[in-house]
């Protein structure tokens, strides 16, 4: 099962890795081998079979500089973004300095590739890398921890407000075929600092590859992080992404997960509220058709009093696609005055599409307010008739209502460029049949 990955581990350049990192990689790989790929007997993977990932051989991408085959205009056409955003671009997993631009960042903010950070701030990386990511418990996180070569390290020091988002772009082209890419993000946002992070995954074509991403985000006391993950991988690709967040007192973490690509995708967002009065908002939209499978898993751990968490996930499913939403909320005995609300709505556009949704509340404090609600439905017949009664044709009415279902969650995106870009994508998809 793991021979190609073992080979990939052996092939990692040794000269520039400190001892602790070599140790971490070997520990993580040992965990990966011990855990193996999850089966559907595993409760957290009950509705998602990763057999297509487990049975295929994905080789590592070649090391060294990228091919330079893409122009800045190609990148702009593939991802939603703004020229004013700070940008780090990876093509087929390799960093592309020519396509990247982040020199306009405030001087005290450090943004580096993982390789650079290991050279320039090895102590910083050693202090934070692998601290939130649960590589001992999760196979995919273990695999990423063992093999992540390219990644991004961000440090926003105390009180610094970064005005423009940091955009981390992962693009694949035909050369990515049959490769495994393990993007890593480590963001340490100190007390009272603010930053917006955008992760975009896109592809020029229909190559079949495996993206296995891990992000670790530390949100300090009173800090604020807006985190957007835009997954528009190739339709033949596999995407497993895990985001692990820790939040300090009075901190705010807002996450938006958009998933429209990949044959099979699994997106995990796990947050720990460690300090009082923290706020977590996890929103998401997935839109799938054909035989696509999209699985979202969230886990909010209320480990301190007076924190609030809000979740709104929506799915639109056509064809024979399959959606899964598993939202867990844990409220620790100390987490009194917790205010949690979780909502999951799915819209089925075809009789063969299927959704499995499982909200789970585990509450061990008595003075809390926690609710969850899930609906699975079809287009509202009353609204359809209302539109038709105004002269709007049946197809257009269906398209508008489907778009409206998506727009209700897209409008929670605070970043204007991103919100408008995704609204345009969703609109074109449902009114003109354009893809993803």
Partner 1 sequence: MLKIDNLHATASDKEILKGVSLAMNAGEVHAIMGPNGSGKSTLAQVIAGHPGYVVTAGTITYDGKDLIAMQPEERAQAGVFLAFQYPVEIPGVTNAYFMRSAYNAVRKAQGKEELDPIEFLELMDERLKLVDMDVSMLHRSVNAGFSGGEKKRNEILQMAVLEPRLAILDETDSGLDIDALRVVAEGVNKLKRSDNATIVVTHYQRLLNYIVPDFVHVLAQGRIVRSGGKELALELEARGYDWVMEAA
CA distance to 100, 157, 218, per residue, from 109 (Å): 16, 7, 15
Instruction: For the CB of residue 119, give the shortest distance to partner 1 in the complex, in Å.
Output: 49
| Cα(109)–Cα(203) distance, integer angstroms | 30
Q: Which residues does residue 111 pair with via DSSP β-bridges, in sequence order?
A: 154
| CA pseudo-torsion sign 62, 63, 68, 71 | positive
Instruction: For the CB of residue 387, give the shortest distance to partner 1 in the complex, in Å.
Output: 7
Instruction: For the CB of residue 337, give the shortest distance to partner 1 in the complex, in Å.
Output: 29
Under 8 Å between Cβ of 331 and 363? yes
Q: Which residues does residue 288 pair with via DSSP β-bridges, in sequence order?
A: 317
CA atoms within 13 A on the CB side of 301: 12
Instruction: For the CB of residue 380, give the shortest distance to partner 1 in the complex, in Å.
Output: 8
Nearer to partner 1, 372 or 388 (CB): 388
Nearer to partner 1, 115 or 401 (CB): 401
Under 8 Å between Cβ of 300 and 329? yes
Instruction: For the CB of residue 343, give the shortest distance to partner 1 in the complex, in Å.
Output: 13
Nearer to partner 1, 224 or 398 (CB): 398
Nearer to partner 1, 370 or 401 (CB): 401
Instruction: For the CB of residue 355, give the shortest distance to partner 1 in the complex, in Å.
Output: 20
Nearer to partner 1, 365 or 383 (CB): 383
* 23 membership: H or E segment, kind and range: helix 19-35
| Cα(173)–Cα(206) distance, integer angstroms | 8
For partner 1, the binding residues (CB under 8 A) are: 380-383, 385-394, 396-397, 400-401, 403-408, 411
Q: Which of 415, 420, 131, 85 is nearest to 255 (CA)?
A: 415
Token digits of residue 338: 């917790």
Nearer to partner 1, 105 or 409 (CB): 409
Nearer to partner 1, 269 or 425 (CB): 425
Helix, coil or strand: residue 142: helix
Nearer to partner 1, 354 or 388 (CB): 388
3-state SS track over 242-307:
EEEEEECCCCEEEEEEEECCCCEEEEEEEEEECCCCCEEEEEEEEEECCCCEEEEEEEEEECCCCC
Q: Which residues does residue 296 pair with via DSSP β-bridges, in sequence order?
A: 267, 325
Instruction: For the CB of residue 314, give the shortest distance to partner 1 in the complex, in Å.
Output: 11
Instruction: For the CB of residue 157, give the shortest distance to partner 1 in the complex, in Å.
Output: 40
Q: Which of 213, 194, 229 is nearest to 152 (CA)?
A: 213
Instruction: For the CB of residue 393, give the shortest distance to partner 1 in the complex, in Å.
Output: 5
Nearer to partner 1, 162 or 413 (CB): 413
| Cα(274)–Cα(337) distance, integer angstroms | 14
Under 8 Å between Cβ of 61 and 173? no
Instruction: For the CB of residue 270, give the shortest distance to partner 1 in the complex, in Å.
Output: 29
Nearer to partner 1, 41 or 390 (CB): 390
| CA pseudo-torsion sign 411, 196, 249, 331 | positive
């Amino acid at each position: 099962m793991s021979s190609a990955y073992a080979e990939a581990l052996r092939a990692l350049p040794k000269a520039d890795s400190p001892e602790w990192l070599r140790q971490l990689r070997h520990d993580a790989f040992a965990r990966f081998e011990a855990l193996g790929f999850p089966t559907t007997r595993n409760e957290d993977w009950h509705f998602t079979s990763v057999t297509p990932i487990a049975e295929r051989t994905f080789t590592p991408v070649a090391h060294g500089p990228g091919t330079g085959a893409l122009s800045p205009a190609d990148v702009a056409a593939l991802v939603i973004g703004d020229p004013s955003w700070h940008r780090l671009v990876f093509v087929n997993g390799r960093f592309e300095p020519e396509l990247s631009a982040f020199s306009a960042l405030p001087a005290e903010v450090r943004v580096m590739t993982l390789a650079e950070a290991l050279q320039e701030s090895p102590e910083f990386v050693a202090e934070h890398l692998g601290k939130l990511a649960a590589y001992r418990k999760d196979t995919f996180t273990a695999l990423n921890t063992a093999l992540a070569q390219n990644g991004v390290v961000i440090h926003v020091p105390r009180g610094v407000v970064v005005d423009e988002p940091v955009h981390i772009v992962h693009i694949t082209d035909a050369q990515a075929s049959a490769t495994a890419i393990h993007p890593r993000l480590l963001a340490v946002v100190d007390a009272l600092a603010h930053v917006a992070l955008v992760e975009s995954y896109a592809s020029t074509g229909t190559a079949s590859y495996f993206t296995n991403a891990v992000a670790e985000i530390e949100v300090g006391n009173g800090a604020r992080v807006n985190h957007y993950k835009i997954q528009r991988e190739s339709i033949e690709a596999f995407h497993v992404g895990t985001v692990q967040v820790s939040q300090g007192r009075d901190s705010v973490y807002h996450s938006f997960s958009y998933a429209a690509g990949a044959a099979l995708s699994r997106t995990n967002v796990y947050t720990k509220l460690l300090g009082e009065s923290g706020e977590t908002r996890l929103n998401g939209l997935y839109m799938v058709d054909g035989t696509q499978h999209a699985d979202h898993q969230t886990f909010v751990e209320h480990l301190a009093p007076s924190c609030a968490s809000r979740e709104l996930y929506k799915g639109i499913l056509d064809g024979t696609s399959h959606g899964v939403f598993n939202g867990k909320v844990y409220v620790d005995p100390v987490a009194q005055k917790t205010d949690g609300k979780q909502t999951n709505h799915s819209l089925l556009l075809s009789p063969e599409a299927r959704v499995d949704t499982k909200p789970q509340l585990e509450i061990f404090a008595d003075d809390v307010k926690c609710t969850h609600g899930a609906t699975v439905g079809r287009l509202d017949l009353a609204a359809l008739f209302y539109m038709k009664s105004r002269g709007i044709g049946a197809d257009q009415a269906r398209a508008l209502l489907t778009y409206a279902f998506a727009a209700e969650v897209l409008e929670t995106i605070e970043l204007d460029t991103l919100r408008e870009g995704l609204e345009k994508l969703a609109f074109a998809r449902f009114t003109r049949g354009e893809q993803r």
